[in-house]
Amino acid sequence: MASDFDEFAARLTAADPEEVQVAGPSLEQRNQRASVIVVQTASTENRIGSVESDVTNEIHTDQDSRQSLAESNGPLSPILITSRRRRARDEGNEEEEMEDAGPPSRKAKSDAEGGFLLEKKDKSIVDDEEDGQVCPVCFDVWSNSGSHRVVSLKCGHLFGQACIERWVHSGGKGARCPQCNESAQKKDIRPIYVRNLKAIDTTERDRALAALEHEKENRRRLELEYHKLQIQMTAKEQDILRLQHELQQCRAALSGACLAASGQGAELPLAGAGPLFGSQPPGILGRRLVLDSTLELCKEGQCRVMSYSEHTLELCKEGQCRVMSYSEHLTLLVVSYAGTNSHLTGTGVKKVNALGGFRTVGYIAVHRKPIRDMAFHLEQNDLLLTVSLDKTAKLVNVHSDIAVTSYSCDAPLWSCAWNADNKYQFFVGTGTGKVLLYDTRKPGDAVDCWSEPNSMSPVTGLAYLPFSPVTTFPRGGLFVQRLQSCVFHESRTDGFVAHPLPLDGSFTSLCVEPETRHFLASSRPNNAHPQARHTVCAPSWTVLGSDSSNGVCSSHAITTIQAGTQQKLLSRSCLLTAPGSTESKQLIVAAHQEAAQCISLWDVNSSAVLQKLPCSDPVLDLLPIRVNGVHFVAALSEKNARFYKWT
């Protein structure tokens, strides 16, 4: 551009002055035109890739200047116009070279002071940048702390830390970037810091959440300690009640010994009565145990019932009752019942007050399907264990009528029993042959589980025999009765050991008499045995080697009672001791005979029928109960409960 002006100046110098005035502008006019160019340059946008627009603007500026000069001094010379066009092309080439050298990140324009101002961005660019502020996996905004802080892979794409870690973990060795499909591993994840990142400050929220989790953990710990202390307190209370009960039994036994020694029921002084009895209030040891003359016990080796009284309680009209359980401490009988009206929904238990003349006092809704078995806790008397076909076992507080805890299983449940050697454990039997062990201190899954190989028959009965070192059979364990087998699981320090028992099915019920440690296995007729059988067995223990704790458990049948050729229902029979037999326990088998429509009582020693109690309805469950020293036999049908009193 400077060379053009030099050439033009040389021509002006060589020309005639008059020609100069006509052919070209004066120096003042040239300065005026130059000042116009400077203003235009300051106001023209220097856009990259817009060279043609700049040249056009420059030419327009030249034309305006030439027109103004022409009005004053005449038209411009062709040499000046050519120079202007050449200078515009040179400026366009320079801008093209700047564009080829590399596109800038921002387009700028010069302001009046020579600075740079940011140009208004295109709408598509703004949308792209806004899309870059969210995680491509979850479409949520990033944060500058916590689990969703911004990170990148080796390919450069940005993600939330928790999202991309979960993505890579789910993909395994073949994990790839969600955007470019490039292979990615967990080691490729690294934190990244972006200058224009719009991150939500979640520091306070994360701190608050951490404090919340800490408080929740403290609350759970305190609740656990509270429940432990509550259980310990309940256990101590039960120990006190048990010791009081044992004390009363000892006093009654001593009083009975005094009456037997006198022969006439007169009071006799106790020989060797020490401080234990000397501090008792007067009259306690002087009480007499008077037996009803209508009940004759153990005469000539046989126990005969001379008379009884019957009481019938109607429970429901639809016929939905199934099993019973009794708490002597609460004098409370519970009966499983399926509610069918609008007020009693589902399946629950009806409470019967035995002390108040056998009247119903309430209903507790527990399960959605029929209940198959129930058992009261051995020490915590208000805690009832129920199992149902809805695959759940529940612990119910009969005082508050609330289900305390629920345990879910993978199969319908048929039977249950408490561990008499561990008050925190209980067993449930499933319809697929499994036996599950639960611990009330560990809610949730079962602590132990065992099953019989190649057997999927339901567990029809469970009964636990506590450890007793002073008896002929000292071992404690669980009797497990399935439809075709009966197994004793011996309890040891390292678990349970199974001992199959030599008994034949098909079994319907199982009952254990804890005082004599005998058990009753009832079975219905089949091809091998055409009659229903009630087999009373005594377990045996054979020591192997010098170690007394290592041996084999078995059983031998004391008697087998034939009970008719018809039994369609899985009714439960019971094994009980005759009321009043103290020294030598007289065992009695009570079972329902469908063909005779009665409840028969057999003497175990002679296998003779002692008495038949009439019962027109099929009996599903039999249970011996005692109310303030008075003995009853409860018989449950689908609609009614009958109570036969020993008199």
Q: What is the pLDDT of residues 458-469, one digit of tens each?
A: 999 999 999 888
More confident site: 588 or 20: 588
Q: With cut-offs at 50, 70 and 90, classify the pLDDT of residue 4.
A: low
Q: What gap in Å lies between CA 323 and CA 509, rounded to an integer?
A: 12
Q: What gap in Å lies between CA 387 and CA 349, rounded to an integer?
A: 12
More confident site: 298 or 138: 138
User: What is the model's pLDDT at position 164?
Assistant: 92
User: What is the model's pLDDT at position 606?
Assistant: 87
More confident site: 453 or 166: 166
More confident site: 621 or 647: 621
Looking at every residue in the chain, the average pLDDT score rounds to 75
pLDDT of residue 304 exceeding 80, the answer is no
Q: With cut-offs at 50, 70 and 90, classify the pLDDT of residue 315.
A: confident
User: What is the model's pLDDT at position 222?
Assistant: 93
Position 125: which residue type? I
User: What is the model's pLDDT at position 501?
Assistant: 92
Q: Which of 39-48, 241-250, 435-444, 473-482 has the lowest mean pLDDT?
A: 39-48
User: What is the model's pLDDT at position 470?
Assistant: 79
Residue 448: enclosing H or E segment and its boundaries?
strand 448-451
User: What is the model's pLDDT at position 104?
Assistant: 43
User: What is the model's pLDDT at position 542?
Assistant: 86
More confident site: 18 or 571: 571
pLDDT of residue 445 exceeding 90, the answer is no
Q: What gap in Å lies between CA 313 and CA 357, rounded to an integer?
A: 10
Contact between residue 450 and residue 489 where contact means Cβ atoms under 8 Å apart? yes
> What is the token pair recorded at 321?
């009752």
pLDDT of residue 73 exceeding 70, the answer is no
Q: Which residue has the tokens 């990148």?
A: 152
DSSP state of 440: T
> What is the token pair recorded at 423?
């008050």
CA 605 to chain centre: 50
Q: With cut-offs at 50, 70 and 90, classify the pLDDT of residue 201.
A: confident
More confident site: 288 or 597: 597
Q: Which of 283-292, 310-319, 395-404 has the highest mean pLDDT?
A: 395-404
pLDDT of residue 534 exceeding 80, the answer is yes
pLDDT of residue 587 exceeding 60, the answer is yes
pLDDT of residue 366 exceeding 50, the answer is yes
Identify the CATH number of the domain defined by range 130-201.
3.30.40.10
When pLDDT is averaged across residues 419-431 and rounded to a whole number, the result is 93
User: What is the model's pLDDT at position 8?
Assistant: 60
Pairing of strands 477-482, 621-627: unpaired
**How many Cβ atoms are within 10 Å of 502's Cβ, its own excluded?**
10
Rg of the Cα trace of the chain?
Answer: 50
pLDDT of residue 410 exceeding 50, the answer is yes
User: What is the model's pLDDT at position 20?
Assistant: 41
Position 47: which residue type? R
Which tens digits make up the pLDDT trace of 111-129? 444 444 444 444 444 444 4
User: What is the model's pLDDT at position 75?
Assistant: 44
CATH number among 3.40.50.300, 2.130.10.10, 3.30.420.10, 3.20.20.70, domain 314-574: 2.130.10.10
User: What is the model's pLDDT at position 278?
Assistant: 35
Burial class, 125, CB count within 10 angstroms (exposed 0-12 / middle 13-18 / buried 19+):
exposed
